[in-house]
Amino acid sequence: MDSPSSSSVIIIGAGISGIAAAKVLAENGVEDILILEASDRIGGRIQKERFGGVSVELGAGWIAGVGGAESNPIWKLAAESGLRTFFSDYSNARYNIYDRRGKIFPSGIVADSYKKAVDSAIQTLRESNKNNNNGDSDSKALTPMELAIDFMLHDFEMAEVEPISTYLDFGEREFMVADERGYDYLLYKMAEEFLLTSEGRILDTRLKLNKVVRELQHSRNGVTVKTEDGCVYKANYVILSVSIGVLQSDLLSFNPPLPRWKMEVIEKCDVMVYTKIFLKFPYKFWQCGPGKEFFIYAHDRRGYYTFWQHMENAYPGSNILVVTLTNEESKRVEAQSDKETLREAMVVLRDMFGPNIPEAIDILVPRWWNNRFQRGSYSNYPIIPNLEDFHNIKAPVGHIFFTGEHTSERYNGYVHGGYLSGIDTSKALLEEMRKEKERKSENQTLLLEPLLALTGSLPLSHPDTVSNIHKCDIPKQLYLRDQLGIPEAKL
């Protein structure tokens, strides 16, 4: 068997955090890197797919936080790359709530219920954080409309009831990515700056796809990485850019195991499952125009095919509807056939728009929960987080550094959170590498001090001879046998 290849840094995961981390390292002279990606593509939870003749985003699909005094870094990258986006106006979604008879609830009744739900949610969150629980809704809402509003408040970031950092820092507007090149085009543009590419393809051997990492052996001397296909790689350091769901699963093992403080915070972190189901129709039968992009279905089961969006603004004439499920409903639908999911969705649509609407001609159901390389969509912290948890979730363990949107204190759950965390992790690693270099230099100086004392009694032909001596000039046998009283070097 060949000797394992060795690198300065191995990055595990080629999502936006991993690519951003690798870029920062390369820009700072650390080019001896290796990126190991479990799937057959880069992007992680940013993934496009062709459906109904257009490119749709299965995972992250919006740039959230635009229009403020400070520019969102992802918005800046999108502008530089000419990525096609359009503004998503959620403000009228609550006024397009359909009951099961196809009637839209009067706006006055909805506005009053929405205000009461917001006030109740704020109070519940405050009380839950005082009691150190997660603040999940207890479904006190009784009517289908109230359940729909409750779902919007607690399952969509656009309707969170307390100010959050993304909107405070970058602005309150959100833009949907609707570009045939896909959201992941931003990652390819970043990769082009430090990896060998040709015609949009990454050819650089420092990126290895289909490499499923299963074990990390770590010590003071570095990290050994073992993959599912039997390959072994060694590095001085590892940046682990995998989702919190993967860290909670049994995909990765650590030898020795991670310390208790690390495992406790990993297990404490909640994982959100967010499923966008795409339906293609022969023609559109839903309302379009200003304020009609989003509409809500009020059912007596919370989260049952509740939140809908048409794709006419993004792709005119595409005749595509998207319905978003979350958490337990997502897991339930992932476990059943697409045929059954289509049947359920059509019953809901016929409740809203009548029995004569056409049958969908195609369906696309992403499965983020059952994807062993993701195990969910994004992290979900309480509104008032425990700052110690954020410190522990991103703190390195020996030579293993952790990154990803779940390590971002201010922007967890967002694409820009993943991007900025990758940058921050690389900067922390560069600082550690600088300190390690200084420590080695100091240790070499300490090793030479006994030798300098010994040579002080030797006749010297030039005054500077002692200062120029190096440990490599000592006979190897004397050095290794400690016959000069010099401690054996431990590498």
Q: Does 17 show up as a binding residue in the annotation?
A: yes
Q: Does 348 show up as a binding residue in the annotation?
A: no
Contact (Cβ atoms closer than 8 angstroms) between residue 106 and residue 298 = no
Q: Which own/partner pairs from 245-249 qualify as long-range (CB within 8 Å, at least 24 positions apart)?
A: 245/271, 245/374, 245/375, 245/376, 246/372, 246/373, 246/374, 246/375, 248/375, 249/372, 249/375
Contact (Cβ atoms closer than 8 angstroms) between residue 396 and residue 424 = no
Sign, CA dihedral 320-321-327-331, equals negative
Q: Does 38 show up as a binding residue in the annotation?
A: yes
Phi, psi of 423 (to 5 degrees): -65, -45
Amino acid sitting at position 104: I
Looking at residue 230, the DSSP 8-state letter turns out to be S
Distance of alpha carbon 301 from alpha carbon 148, whole angstroms: 9
Amino acid sitting at position 187: L
Looking at residue 4, the DSSP 8-state letter turns out to be P
Structure-token pair, residue 483: 């016959």
Closest to 227 measured CA to CA, from 1, 12, 442: 12
Q: Does 213 show up as a binding residue in the annotation?
A: yes
Extract the annotated binding site: 17, 37-38, 213
Extract the annotated binding site for FAD: 17, 37-38, 213
